[in-house]
């Protein structure tokens, strides 16, 4: 019998591909689970399980029927949240306790913890299905969010009370748990902080600038290196260290989105799963660091490297190509003023391209000559893309 160790990768989409290959680099037999048979990682996998992994009982059944050495989540909340109770029961490495995972990946629970420890977040209140819709003492405009959504799904910005009941109803329909968060809208620039923690302290970190230009609450453009100033970086890092200590987080990735205005910042959300849309590839192109390898190490019971192995910092933008209304894709082109552009196509000619935030055509990475060009072009990358659809051919 083979002595090759076995890992189960929980997720099969293109975003999970770098994680898959990071596992293969360690000589592992890698199985993949996910219910879309034509997803990329099923094509690479040593073995596939076509299950709905958002249902923990289905994942538990697969794990208990096989002898996996490692369990590895991918790039959405369902993956991590289904893995957490399985890992807790069977002793897989790298996961927080289910109670802690619920806090970090449920917006209302996370807001309560940040309030308890006086961390900088927008003011909020919870709203459950069946309750009378009230804004309380929150100031408008208000963001209405399902407590368990990602990619901005089900979120609405409302400017007055008359708009609130419909927004709450829409958000509850997008939620699996019939609960939403009402949150004061804060103005500022959007950024992310990818921190790899060890002994509940940040030891490796990357700051990225982010922009939402097609769908209001889904990031479709980003760049590294970031414009975030040193004193804001220090403040964010201190908050993450405090949160990691308060929750007793395991070693590994803690990815955070935050908003900056002047000398203030607000934490919007934190997650332990890997960010999607090839976020890690942006870091890798810019710095030379293998982001996916950093992500998988704790799940393989391996320490983080003593240093980040940063080779250089190049100027890169990332763009997720998407549209506001569904169309049948024919082709697309670009005229981005960049040194190099790498494209990852996600749709073939003739395929239906759904509206953002539910679908995307491709992801591209643009390398710029200098920081100024990167900062000027990245927020408007969508303007340099031409998408031709079935309607254009007519």
Strand pairing partners for 213? none
Domain ranges of the chain: 6-92, 123-184, 189-393
Residue 60: count of CB within 10 angstroms of its CB: 15
Output Rg (C-alpha) for the chain, integer angstroms. 21
Average pLDDT in the chain: 92
Domain 189-393: give its CATH architecture: 2-Layer Sandwich (3.30)
Query: Which residue has 């109770």 as its token pair?
Result: 85
The pLDDT of residue 1 is 36
The pLDDT of residue 148 is 67
The pLDDT of residue 117 is 93
CATH class of the domain whose range is 6-92: alpha beta
Strand pairing partners for 146? 180
Instruction: Kindly state the average pLDDT of the residues 233-254.
Output: 98
Token reading at 44: 């690479």
pLDDT tens per residue, range 82-138: 999 999 999 999 999 999 999 998 877 898 899 899 999 998 888 777 777 777 788
Task: Report the predicted TM-score, pTM, of the whole model to 2 decimal places.
Answer: 0.92
Fold of 123-184: Dna Ligase; domain 1 (3.30.1490)
pLDDT tens per residue, range 161-202: 888 888 888 888 877 777 888 888 899 999 999 999 999 999
The pLDDT of residue 134 is 78
């Amino acid at each position: 019998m083979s002595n090759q160790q076995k890992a189960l990768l929980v997720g099969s989409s293109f975003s999970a591909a770098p994680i898959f290959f990071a596992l293969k680099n360690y000589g592992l037999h890698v199985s993949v689970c996910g219910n879309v048979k034509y997803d990329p990682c099923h094509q690479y996998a040593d073995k596939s399980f076509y299950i709905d992994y958002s249902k923990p009982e289905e994942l538990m059944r697969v794990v208990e029927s096989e002898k996996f050495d490692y369990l590895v989540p991918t790039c959405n909340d369902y993956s991590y949240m289904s893995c957490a109770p399985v890992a807790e029961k069977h002793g897989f490495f790298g996961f927080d306790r289910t109670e802690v995972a619920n806090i970090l990946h449920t917006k209302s629970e996370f807001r309560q913890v940040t309030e308890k420890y006086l961390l900088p977040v927008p003011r909020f209140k919870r709203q459950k299905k069946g309750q009378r819709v009230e804004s309380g003492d929150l100031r408008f405009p208000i963001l209405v969010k399902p407590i368990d959504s990602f990619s901005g799904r089900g979120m609405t910005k409302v400017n007055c009370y008359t708009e609130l009941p419909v927004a709450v109803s829409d958000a509850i329909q997008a939620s699996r748990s019939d609960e939403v968060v009402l949150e004061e809208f804060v103005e500022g620039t959007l950024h992310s902080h990818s921190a790899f923690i060890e002994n509940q302290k940040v030891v490796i970190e990357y700051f990225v600038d982010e922009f939402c230009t097609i769908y209001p609450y889904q990031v479709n453009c980003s760049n590294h290196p970031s414009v975030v100033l040193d004193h804001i970086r220090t403040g964010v890092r201190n908050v993450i260290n405090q949160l990691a200590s308060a929750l007793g987080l395991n070693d590994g990735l803690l990815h955070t989105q935050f908003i900056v205005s002047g000398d203030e910042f607000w934490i919007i959300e934190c997650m332990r799963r890997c960010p999607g849309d090839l976020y890690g590839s942006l870091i890798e192109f810019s710095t030379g660091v293998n982001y996916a390898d950093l992500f998988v190490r704790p799940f393989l019971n391996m320490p983080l490297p003593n240093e980040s192995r940063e080779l250089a910092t190049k100027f890169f933008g990332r763009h997720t190509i998407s549209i506001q209304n569904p169309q049948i894709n024919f082709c697309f082109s670009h005229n981005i003023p960049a040194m190099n552009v790498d494209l990852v196509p996600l749709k073939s000619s003739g395929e239906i391209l759904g509206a953002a935030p539910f679908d995307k055509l491709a992801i591209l990475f643009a390398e710029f000559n200098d920081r100024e060009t990167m900062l000027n072009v990245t927020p408007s990358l969508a303007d340099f893309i031409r998408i031709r659809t079935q309607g254009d051919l007519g």
